[in-house]
Amino acid sequence: MAILVTGAAGFIGSNLVRHLLERWPDRRIVGYDLLTYAGHLSNLADVMDHPRHTFVRGDVADRESVAKVFAEHDIDGVMHLAAESHVDRSIVDPMAFVRTNVVGTTVLLQEAARAWEGREGVRFHHVSTDEVFGALGAEGRFDEHTAYGPNSPYSASKAASDHFVRAWHETYGLPVVVTNCTNNYGPYQFPEKLIPVVVTRALAGERVPVYGRGENVRDWLYVGDHCDALALVFEEGATGETYCIGGDAEATNLDLVGMVLDAVDGARGAAVGTSRELIEFVTDRPGHDFRYAMDIAKIRAELGWEPSVGLAEGLARTVDWYLSHREWMEEVQGDQHREFTDSWYGKR
């Protein structure tokens, strides 16, 4: 069996490729990625020569390229993670998100349906986000029945892609499953996202930006737990169903930043709390959702999954990984990343 993992050179994708190669010794993994600013072959360096792993550079929105990978590698399953995913970038360039997240998903769906016509034992797993549901108040959690209410170009593009996946299932009978997850963190996360931003800036002694007053709340999911859940849903999830995946680890942005800074201090042998002086409150971004939290009762009851890594442990692991992989951080922080980050936070 050959599984196509799109976005394989990104953060979650590269972690998933490793997880699947270890978990599924009888399956081939075909990684597929365009290698834009957030996708790097260095994320897959340790598995590039694995006998059951093949990497293909390609664009999910390029129908010819997608059709070719289905034909040449006899794909049986798709785990679709390729996406533009940074909310701040979606505010600056929303059309890039429409192309990759909406057009790219529909191209994949169309080519999967063509390649798998009359075939059994196939599955299309679409990996999405909790942001499609909009924002919560101080109480309650999202679940599989929550109405969609996206508030950013990023979340709107992911909501659209979710709907197209369901449409291909209902209209064409494509066997699909959908997962919506909370904020991921862990090794290989691109340095524009909150936790790596905090780590890299703290190490450099630079100001650490926090939107507004840092009161926005997120539920944090360690990437290894997410990969375990994704594989389990692919293996055992009911066709046509959605599963919400979360870490049961809510924290305000300010509390999270403080925890990360304390972990950096501890790992460097500095007095814990020293780096908190670097925190700088910046103008909140437009449409910043107040709170996300996920009810994971369905995946827990039906598939027996629940997160195994608590937030404190996960942050410690993550900070240790970044501190021992500074060469990776330098390699992936190219000029395009630096220019965007400096200009964005500079104007907030």
Q: Which residues are catalytic?
A: 130-131, 154
Gap between the Cα atoms of 109 and 39, Å rounded: 22
Gap between the Cα atoms of 327 and 329, Å rounded: 5
Specify the DSSP element, H or E, that contains 313: helix 311-323
Specify the DSSP element, H or E, that contains 201: helix 194-204
CB 135 within 8 A of CB 292: yes
Specify the DSSP element, H or E, that contains 322: helix 311-323
Instruction: Tell me which DSSP letter residue 131 carries.
Output: G
- Give how far the C-alpha of residue 275 lies from the chain's centroid of Cα atoms, to the nearest Å: 27
Query: In this structure, what token pair is assigned to residue 238?
Result: 């009911």
Gap between the Cα atoms of 320 and 197, Å rounded: 15
Gap between the Cα atoms of 277 and 291, Å rounded: 25
Query: In this structure, what token pair is assigned to residue 319?
Result: 């900070």
Show Cβ contacts of residue 274 under 8 Å, excluding neighbours closer than 6 positions: 265
Specify the DSSP element, H or E, that contains 123: strand 123-129
CB count within 10 Å of CB 270 equals 14
Which residue, among 343, 341, 331, has the nearest Cα to 35 in the 3D structure? 331
Longest dimension (CA), the chain: 63
First to last CA, the chain: 48
Side-chain-facing half-sphere of 187: CA atoms under 13 Å? 19
Specify the amino acid at residue 199.
Answer: V
In the three-class reduction of DSSP (H, G, I as helix; E, B as strand; rest coil), residue 291 is classed as strand
